[in-house]
Amino acid sequence: MLPYPLVLLPALGADSRLWEPVIERLGDIVESTVVAHAGDSVESIADNVLAQAPDRFYLAGLSMGGYVALDIALRRTGRLAGLALVNTSARAASPERRASGEGMIELAEAGRYDIAVERLAGAVAPPGRGDVVALAAAMAGDLGAAAFRDQQRAALDRHDRRPALSWIDTPTVVVCGTADGVTPLEHSAELAEGIPDAELIIIEGCGHFSAVEEPARIAEILRTRLLRVDPPTAR
């Protein structure tokens, strides 16, 4: 087993079930922990992750988890042994995304959270993946309206991190899917181009929740591109 654990951060509205298929495939080499989003800003969520994480660890974040992982990496604490940014972006929320997110917050606050859950679940899955829709709906439903609202607010108020990407000094792999309707390929390309020596890996036909759509592929990427970094010397 590697001496440093792997900390995994889920997407907005998701929980540990998003990463479970990947964790099962990495259990022979690394101890993995999923840290839930707690807070109403990317910065406060990152504070909570760092408070729970060990002194040294690998970090992987999917979608909103990637926003939080970026914030942690940009703090340059020296605690990260490696970084994986999956189906995520360094951009601030677009006007269109803000309008959509505000609409879902309004639904949640008006007692129509079930409709917000339905919209979220439909957005993250590519056509033909009813299993992903069902899982996304179950996770968001269990999260509850209050926590969902806080996560939406954090995602909508995030900063544009593109100007600061060159500051990241952690070995980084960026992963995206060609069928991701939430985070386009160009967003991942920006991450890989902006972070020194980052590697971009594209999964054909994969949507936004790659950890459940292609868990074997994601596990293989983490095993060979993230966890291969030599722990005693990685900085």
Correct CATH for 6-91+160-226 of 3.40.50.1820, 3.40.50.12140, 3.40.50.20, 3.40.1190.20: 3.40.50.1820
Of 75, 5, 2, 74, give the one whose Cα is nearest residue 33. 5
Reported pTM: 0.96
Residue 230 has pLDDT above 60, yes or no: no
Residue 234 has pLDDT above 70, yes or no: no
Q: How, if at all, do strands 80-86 and 172-177 pair?
A: parallel
DSSP helix/strand/coil, 126:
coil
Virtual torsion, Cα 87, 45, 41, 210, nearest 10 deg: 10
* Residue 235 pLDDT level (bands cut at 50, 70, 90): very low
Residue 163 has pLDDT above 80, yes or no: yes
DSSP helix/strand/coil, 176:
strand
The angle at the Cα of 130, spanning 67 to 120, to the nearest 5 degrees, equals 35
Residue 168 has pLDDT above 80, yes or no: yes
Q: Where are the alpha helices (DSSP H) in the chain?
A: 20-26, 42-52, 64-74, 95-109, 113-124, 130-143, 145-156, 185-194, 210-213, 215-221
Q: How many CB atoms lie within 10 A of CB 24?
A: 11
% of the chain exceeding 90 in pLDDT: 95
- Residue 233: the pLDDT is 45
pLDDT tens for 107-134 read 999 999 999 999 999 999 988 999 999 9
- Residue 98: the pLDDT is 96
> Domain spans of the chain?
6-91+160-226, 95-153
- Residue 228: the pLDDT is 77
Residue 13 has pLDDT above 70, yes or no: yes
β-bridge mates for residue 199, sequence order: 173
pLDDT tens for 19-41 read 999 999 999 999 999 999 999 99
β-bridge mates for residue 177, sequence order: 203
Structure tokens belonging to residue 231: 């722990």
